[in-house]
Amino acid sequence: MAEELVIALLGGRGLERALSERTGVPVIATTADDHLDVAQRLGLDGALVVGLSVVPWPHEVDLHAQGSASLPAYTGVVSWHALPALADALASAIAPGARGGAHVMLTAPDPGPDTDPADVVFLREVAEAVADRVELSSRSIAWRGTTRTPTAADALRSVVEVHGHPDIVECPVAPGTGGDPALLALAEELGCRLTTVDLGRATLLDLLTEVVLTVAGHELDDGSDEVDGGDGEDEPEPDR
């Protein structure tokens, strides 16, 4: 991989070395507070800095826009939730439960009541992509939190008490998301079986690697205005 590419990984502490080994480029973990300062420093030698978050949904959108506007060589990957490999991995993880008739509930953290509506449609889009890959007899989407509906707690209660499903598979969109203790306690109270599937760190690294290689090929190799998705599905979209 070309030496002139550098990755500024938002929230990526602890993943830098492994992702660098997989992609062949330097990876620096950043936070929202220091991301642009780090990106500016990394770009001083003429490197293309790719700003990327470890979560797949739109994250720090304004930060990426500011980087693209103020730094000479910065590309911010606003979101990678449309990556086909993410839907493939989620579908594979929930397939055993779905085949057994479990209700599948796809979840993400509550982004807060003031989030731009355009930045929350990802959850429905991911759910639809997963449903295209595995047959789901019953499914829903929900938010882990209290400000955006349906909340995961309310959705779980409805699935059990209104619709009568005793077996629920929760599928968080972000790899590395474990079970929610409060949701598990509610499941016990309701007398249902709740299983949370987590894609885990290895899958997260696989997905981030694909995002980086896609952006690198787009930015450094062909210079075109489109990223070839191969199967016609969306690829990570850089913000310029």
Condensed to tens digits (0 to 9), the pLDDT of residues 169-212 reads 999 999 999 999 999 999 999 999 999 999 999 999 999 999 99
What pLDDT is attached to residue 238?
53
Q: Where in the chain is the domain with CATH 3.40.50.1400?
A: 84-198
Tell me the residue length of the chain.
240
Q: What is the pLDDT of residue 1?
A: 42
CA 69 to chain centre: 24
Q: Which of 100, 80, 229, 107 is nearest to 167 (CA)?
A: 100
Burial of 79 (0-12, 13-18, 19+ CB in 10 A): buried
Reported CATH class of domain 5-78+202-239: alpha beta
**How would DSSP label each residue in 123-149?**
HHHHHHHHHTTS--SSEEEEEESSSSS
Contact 103, 139 (CB under 8 A): yes
Residue 179 amino acid letter: G
* Per-residue pLDDT tens over the stretch 82-123: 999 999 999 999 999 999 999 999 999 999 988 999 999 999
Structure tokens at 64: 């990426």
Contact 58, 237 (CB under 8 A): no
pLDDT band at 227 (very low <50, low <70, confident <90, very high): very low
The pLDDT value recorded for residue 226 is 34
Q: What is the Cα–Cα distance from 72 to 148, expressed in whole angstroms? A: 37
Look at residues 52, 75, 31, 18 and name the one whose alpha carbon lies nearest to residue 205: 18
Q: What is the DSSP letter of 47?
A: P
pTM of this structure: 0.88
Return the CATH architecture of domain 84-198: 3-Layer(aba) Sandwich (3.40)
Residue 188 has φ and ψ, to the nearest 5°, of -65, -40
| Confidence band of 8 (pLDDT split at 50, 70, 90) | very high
